[in-house]
Every structure is written in C-alpha cells, then in structure tokens.
Chain A
Amino acid sequence: MALPQKHFKRGSTKPELPEDGVPRFFSMAFCPFSHRVRLMLAAKHIEHHKIYVDLIEKPEWYKDFSPLGKVPALQLTGVKDQPTLVESLIIAEYLDQQYPQTRLFPTDPLQKALDKILIERFAPVVSAIYPVLTCNPNAPKDAIPNFENALDVFEVELGKRGTPYFAGQHIGIVDYMIWPWFERFPSMKINTEQKYELDTKRFEKLLKWRDLMTQDEVVQKTALDVQLHAEFQKSKTLGNPQYDIAFKGTP
C-alpha cells in the first residue's frame, strides 16, 4: 500500500497509516539529515513506510509522532508503545547495531570514535556553505573560502587514510553520513552566478571519491537529481519552499 507522495501540510487530515509493524519513516525529501537515514534504511534493506512532512507548515498531528516536530523521525511500530527515534546519527547507529548484517560503523571503539569525530568535523563545512547552497542573496563574501578551508580537512583525511572510501576499501558510515551534502553541492553550479564547483586540483581525492559514491547502489537508490535540488533551493528564495518538487517525474 503506497502512502501519498506529497508533503503533508498544516490542516491536513492525519493519514491512515497501516498497523503492520513496518517502521514509519517521517522525512522532508530535500532534508540532508533525512537523507542520511534514507541511506541507512536502503543499505540495510529495511522495509518502511515513507511519510513526508512540510517543515514550514507542519501538520498539527505530527507532534503525535515527533514531539519536537523534528525530521528525520523513525517510528518503530513493531515495538511495544511504538517509540519514535529522532536525530539522524543516533538513528544511524541504532539501525547499524539492530541490523548487523553489513556493518557500517567500525566495530573497534577507537576507530568508531575517530569516524564520529570526522563526521562532527563536517558541521563547519555545512554551516559555511549553507547561505550559498540555499541561494541566500546576502551570503557572506567569505562563505566559499571558509567552506573550502573546512573541506580541506576531508581531502587531507582521505589522503591520510589512503583508501578509496573514508571507511577503507568498502563504503562505510562516514561516506554515507557526509554524502547527502555532496549530492547537493553541484546545485551551486546551476544556482550561482559564478557557476561554482569544487576545484579539481584542490579537491582531487574528494572528487574521485564523489564519482565512486555515485556508482554505489544505495546512493543511486536514494538519489535526487541535481536539477531538482537546484529548483528546490530556488523555490525557497521565492518564499514558498516547494517540497513536492522532489516527486516531479514520478508516476
């Protein structure tokens, strides 16, 4: 049974959700944090219902599932009391442990901690580029230089690890947790005056990694086209984010 492919808004009727014990995944299609969980669910082949939420005009009933109104939210309907988990990294770690086939986190406590620190270090990358990525006309002049400086950490780290993926020879948790933003970065080539893209020399290893990532089955399964990302970001600047752009071209 397919739930509507649209973002529920304020005033919308609470949808009839099947009571089949299958987890319910509440997200916003363009939210990179929701994308992290989407990647985990796909990597682990976990069946789930998809419910999309308009973040600007949240449906009143959404508080029943996510008390603080956050996405991503994963409701475990097969568990007593049907608890809901929020926070993308906490959900990712839970799913990795609960469904241990194809482990994505390292099992060694030290390597796991180092990977978590690296994921944490991606936050300054995101905050630096956020105004440019979202087509903010008042983006600070140093947004891109700051972004590039923060991103250097990952170019260096990939070189230091000396492997095609951050996780090694195979894709792992760092790769999936930072991937959503790399899917979105190319939208700046479309949306910025200078047609910004990553410098091929400065970020040589990262761009190679990016190309590898696009070949991954899980990445492909959860992908949204760069054109859609660009259109969505543009729609935000016009005042009314058009979340349902994500479903253009789907039957």
Chain B
Amino acid sequence: MSNTQHLTIGSPKPVFPDDGILKLYSMRFCPYAHRVHLVLDAKKIPYHAIYINLRDKPEWFSLVSSSTKVPALELVKEQGNPVLIESLIICDYLDEKYPEVPLYPKDLLKKAQEKILIERFGQFINAFYYLLLHDNPEQLVDTDHYAGLVVYEEELKRRCTKFFGGDSPGMLDYMMWPWCERFDSLKYTFEQKFELSPERFPTLIKWRDLMIQDRAVKCFYLDGQTHAKYMNSRRSGQADYNMLYNEAKRVKLG
C-alpha cells in the first residue's frame, strides 16, 4: 500500500512530477477523508495521497489549504491549482467532473433525497463520537446509540436492493461507510460489546458484509482492531498517525 507516513513540522513539502494527477491531502484514520478516498477509488481516478499529521501540521500546509483541514483535494490540472475542502463538496465535485461510474441517481428528486439521507447520517456520526470519546462509556448503558441507524435499515429494506445505490454501492453507501467500518472497533475498545442487533438491523448487517467485499472499500479498508488501536492512541492524547508506517518499517527491518 501507499506510504502512510504523516508529514509534520519540519517535513519538506513533497515534490511530485508534473503528471496532472490529483493530490489528496488526507489523514489515514480520518473518516471524512476516507469518504474522498472511496469515491476516487470507486471511479478509478488516479491520485497522490499525502498524509498530514493533524496535531503538528507541516508549515507549508496552510499555503496549500487555508482551512488546514483534511480532506483537501488539489486540482493540479486546473488553472491556479485550486484546492477543494469539505468531504461532501469534494465528492459532489468528483461525481460531476468524472461522470463515469456515477454514484448519485440520475433523477433529480432521488438525488436530492439521497443528499438528505447523507446529511441526516450526521446524527449517527455525532452519537458514535459521543460514545467513542466518552470518559465513562459504562454510564451510557441506557443510551440508544443506534437510533440514528433505524431510518437506514428501513430505507434499505424498502429499496429491496443490496446497496443503497442498487446493485453496486452509490454515494450514500460510500458516505456512510467510514463510520460503519469503524463501528467494529468498539468491541476492542470497551468492556461491553457494542454491536448491531441482528433482530433490529438484519438488512444493515447484510449490507455491511457486502460492503466489505466492494473493491473501493477494500482499497482503503482497516479492520476493527486497527481502528481501535488508533482511537485508543487518540484518547490517550498522543494520536499515533504513523502506526501503520512504523509497523510496516518494523516488518521490513525484522
């Protein structure tokens, strides 16, 4: 896989050949950046991935993207090398600019409804982080962490398709996926097992298993244990952005 070393203070700005290939500034464990990776991989758009240490950013990064957030997509073919930010705006742009492998429905109303479901997924994202970053998750035993998922279980059941996109994943599938991938990390992080109930979410569980088989998902997939390891490092205050890089280095040396 790609070099996942995260550039930090003092890191020189990477030099790339003038190849017209997009540059994606990312962080390996950022779910919002993950969305963009999924869309680029689904559409088979070549790109250079540049990973940024978000705690100690390289000095030159603020010149690349004034927001200094990831994901940031540098459009090297466009005049002035504009940089797009905001995962949903980037993904919408990619779907319009590269219409092969369309991820949104063609019908304008269906497309709008898809975007509303994507926006609404923010409810679950908030609940997920509330749980993940809570000091005493045992206190949350009575909280319904999955309430935000009910509408998606019902929607997918109603559509009677494998994916929200139909026979293959669409934009809604990919925009939801990063958090669903990380959901598996909960059982390695907490004593009590936070898992989806097969009685309550049979369709979503099936969907999740199918998503793991998707080519684009496989390109960037990390298992629950790896996500848990990163998240634990973040909770301890020392986010270990380079854990994969260091692991790969260790394997090479060993």
Contact = CB atoms under 8 A, between A and B. Distances in A.
B141 interface: no
A223 to B, nearest CB: 27
Interface stretch (A8-16, A39-47, A93-101, A195-203): A93-101
B93 A94 contact: no
A114 to B, nearest CB: 7
A60 interface: no
A113 B84 contact: yes
Contacts of A85: 112-113, 116
B97 A110 contact: yes
B119 A90 contact: yes
Contacts of A97: 108
Interface residues of A, number: 21
Interface size class of B (residues with CB under 8 A): 20 to 34
Contacts, number: 52
A133 B78 CA distance: 40
A109 B96 contact: yes
B157 interface: no
Contact of B108 (A86, A98, A109, A120): A98
Interface in A7-28: none
User: SS class of chain B's interface: helix, strand, loop or mixed?
Assistant: helix
B75 A110 contact: yes
B75 A116 contact: no
Interface string B57-98: 000000000000000000100100010111001101100110
B78 A83 contact: no
Contacts of A116: 86, 89, 92
A91 interface: yes
Interface of B: 75, 78, 82, 84-86, 89-90, 92-93, 96-97, 108-109, 111-113, 115-116, 119-120
A112 B85 contact: no
A96 B248 CA distance: 49
Interface string A94-130: 1001100000000001101110110010000000000
Contacts of B108: 94, 97-98
Contacts of A109: 93, 96-97
A116 to B, nearest CB: 5
Contact of A86 (B97, B109, B116): B116
A34 to B, nearest CB: 16
B84 A94 contact: no
